[in-house]
């Protein structure tokens, strides 16, 4: 039986990846330091005979024997990764060195979840993998985006120097059930605010764009990449349908039947103006593309947050 390590396994994506791979009869070792991960996300797996949880911070080495590593660990929401910026850099740099060392010793294939933030505030639109990005190296987002860029460098160098079997996924904005109420990102913020009939907080005028990928689509993309044998460089994974933040706010107000007003708050520094993935490589090489449209995904996510906030009329 294949033994798989998932770092950040109690997080939004990691926890659903644990469930998904357990269903595929894999033996799972999940690590998390519970900074932004939550035990609640994996509690239902505790009694599974092939699920093992290790409370561990990957900035320290980890000694386990595995066949594959999904290296997801790192807070991904700006409020969380900026809370302790130095720790975010350590997680990406030291954490990735530790996981690559583990992959090297055990000859495990390792997949790293990088980010669309490596493109910074992009001057090329939509963003193909070949674009090098437009990143502020000293800004508030740099602990995350430069951290992820160094981690990509490490992945490529361990491959070139030590022949480690690597995969790099550049994950664009992803949403869905299991996001934390306090995740701080736009979809969870807007849905929670709408359900509580509180004002929706648009940062800036709301003309900035993002492209939102539903969680199950993203997981399928990540797994397809892990199972692909000859891809080395980074691969964009995301939904190529682009929306403005104002459009998103209006849609969520409409779908929740909320009486919330929209208010505007200052735009955080270095907030990218436009973001949209060019997924032609993933389409061609993985035969993958997202299937869940925004409305369908939002419907499921709204239902999840209703239950989470105890607003479900059936309860
Ligand atoms: N945003 C917003 N209101 C919020 C949270 C975020 O208007 O309550 C904006 C944010 O400024 C950004 C976009 O929504 O332009 C996406 O933000 P998020 O934090 O979800 O992701 P990221 O900026 O990392 O893409």
Give tens-digit pLDDT for 9-52: 999 999 999 999 999 999 999 999 999 999 999 999 999 999 99
- Quick check: CB of 52 below 6 Å from ligand 1? no
Q: What percent of the chain has pLDDT over 90?
A: 98
Q: How far is the CA of 131 from the centre of ligand 1 (A)?
A: 22
User: What ligand 1 atom has the least distance to the C-alpha of 141?
Assistant: 24
This prediction has a pTM of 0.96
For atom 17 of ligand 1, which residue has the closest CA? 186
The CA R_g of the chain, rounded to the nearest whole Å, is 19
Q: How far is the CA of 186 from the centre of ligand 1 (A)?
A: 5
Q: Is the CB of 174 under 6 A from ligand 1?
A: no
For residues 66 and 123, the answer to whether their CB atoms sit within 8 Å is no
Average pLDDT over residues 189-211: 97
pLDDT-derived band at 315 (thresholds 50, 70, 90) equals very low
Question: What is the structure's pLDDT at 310?
Answer: 85
Cis status of the peptide bond prior to 126, with omega within 30 of 0: yes
Residue from 167, 292, 172 nearest 228 by CA: 167
Q: How far is the CA of 108 from the centre of ligand 1 (A)?
A: 35
pLDDT band at 101 (very low <50, low <70, confident <90, very high): very high
Answer whether 61's CB lies under 8 Å from 92's CB.
no
Backbone angles phi, psi at 265, to 5 degrees: -120, 165
Give the range among 169-173, 181-185, 247-251 with minimum mean pLDDT.
Answer: 181-185
Q: Check 81, 119, 144, 175 and give the catalytic one.
A: 144
The finding on whether 170 has its CB within 6 A of some atom of ligand 1 is no
Q: Does pLDDT of 314 surpass 70?
A: no
Mean pLDDT of 256-267: 97
What superfamily in CATH does domain 3-175+213-239+276-291 come from? Answer: NAD(P)-binding Rossmann-like Domain (3.40.50.720)
Can you read off the two tokens belonging to residue 101?
Answer: 């060392």
Q: Tell me what the mean pLDDT of segment 193-197 comes to.
A: 97
Burial label, 310 (beta-carbon count in 10 A; 0-12, 13-18, 19+): exposed
At 59, the pLDDT band (50, 70, 90 cuts) reads very high
* Interatomic CA distance for residues 239 and 164, integer angstroms: 29
CA distances from 111 to 90, 103, 300 (A): 18, 10, 28
Verify whether ligand 1 is closer than 6 Å to residue 82 (CB atom): no
What is the mean predicted confidence (pLDDT) over 69-95?
A: 96
For 99, 153, 165, 263, the CA distances from 103, given in Å and listed in that order, are 6, 16, 8, 48
Q: Does the CB atom of residue 199 touch ligand 1 within 6 A? A: no
Active site residue 144: yes
Q: Is 210 in the pocket of ligand 1 (CB under 6 A)?
A: yes
- Taking alpha carbons only, the member of 151, 155, 156, 164 closest to residue 117 is 151
First to last CA, the chain: 40
Cβ count within 10 A of residue 259: 8
Q: In this structure, which residue's CA is closest to atom 5 in ligand 1? A: 186
Structure tokens given for 171: 């994950």
**Domain range list for the chain:** 3-175+213-239+276-291
Q: What is the pLDDT of residue 311?
A: 74
Give the Å distances, CA to CA, from 314 to 188, 281, 301, 303: 22, 44, 17, 12
Question: Ligand 1, residues 116, 142, 186: which to mutate, most atoms within 8 A of Cβ?
Answer: 186
Q: What is the pLDDT of residue 312?
A: 57
How much is the mean pLDDT over the chain?
A: 96
């Amino acid at each position: 039986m294949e033994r798989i390590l998932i770092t950040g396994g109690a997080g939004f994506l990691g926890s659903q990846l644990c469930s998904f791979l357990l269903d595929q009869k894999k033996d799972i070792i999940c690590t998390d330091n519970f900074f932004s991960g939550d035990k609640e996300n994996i509690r239902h797996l505790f009694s599974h005979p092939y699920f093992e949880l290790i409370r561990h911070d990957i900035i320290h080495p980890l000694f386990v024997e595995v066949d594959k590593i999904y290296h997801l660990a790192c807070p991904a929401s700006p409020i969380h990764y900026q809370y302790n910026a130095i720790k975010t850099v350590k997680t990406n740099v030291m954490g990735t060195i530790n996981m690559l060392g583990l992959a090297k010793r055990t000859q495990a294939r390792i997949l790293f979840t990088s980010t669309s933030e490596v493109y910074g505030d992009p001057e090329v639109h939509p963003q193909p993998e070949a674009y090098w990005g437009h990143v502020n190296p000293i800004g508030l987002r740099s602990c995350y985006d430069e951290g992820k860029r160094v981690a990509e460098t490490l992945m490529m160098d361990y491959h070139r120097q030590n022949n480690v079997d690597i995969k790099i996924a550049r994950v664009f904005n992803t949403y869905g059930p299991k996001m934390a109420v306090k995740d701080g990102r736009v979809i969870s913020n807007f849905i929670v605010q709408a359900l509580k009939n509180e004002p929706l907080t648009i940062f800036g005028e709301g003309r900035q764009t993002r492209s939102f990928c539903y969680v199950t689509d993203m997981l399928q993309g990540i797994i397809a990449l892990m199972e692909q044998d000859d891809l080395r460089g980074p691969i964009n994974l995301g939904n190529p349908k682009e929306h403005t933040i104002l459009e998103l706010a209006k849609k969520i107000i409409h779908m929740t039947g909320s009486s919330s007003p929209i208010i505007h708050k200052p735009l955080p520094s270095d907030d990218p103006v436009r973001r949209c993935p060019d997924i032609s490589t993933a389409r061609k090489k993985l035969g993958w593309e997202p299937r869940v449209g925004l409305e369908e995904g939002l419907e499921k996510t709204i239902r999840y947050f209703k239950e989470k906030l105890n607003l479900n009329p059936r309860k």
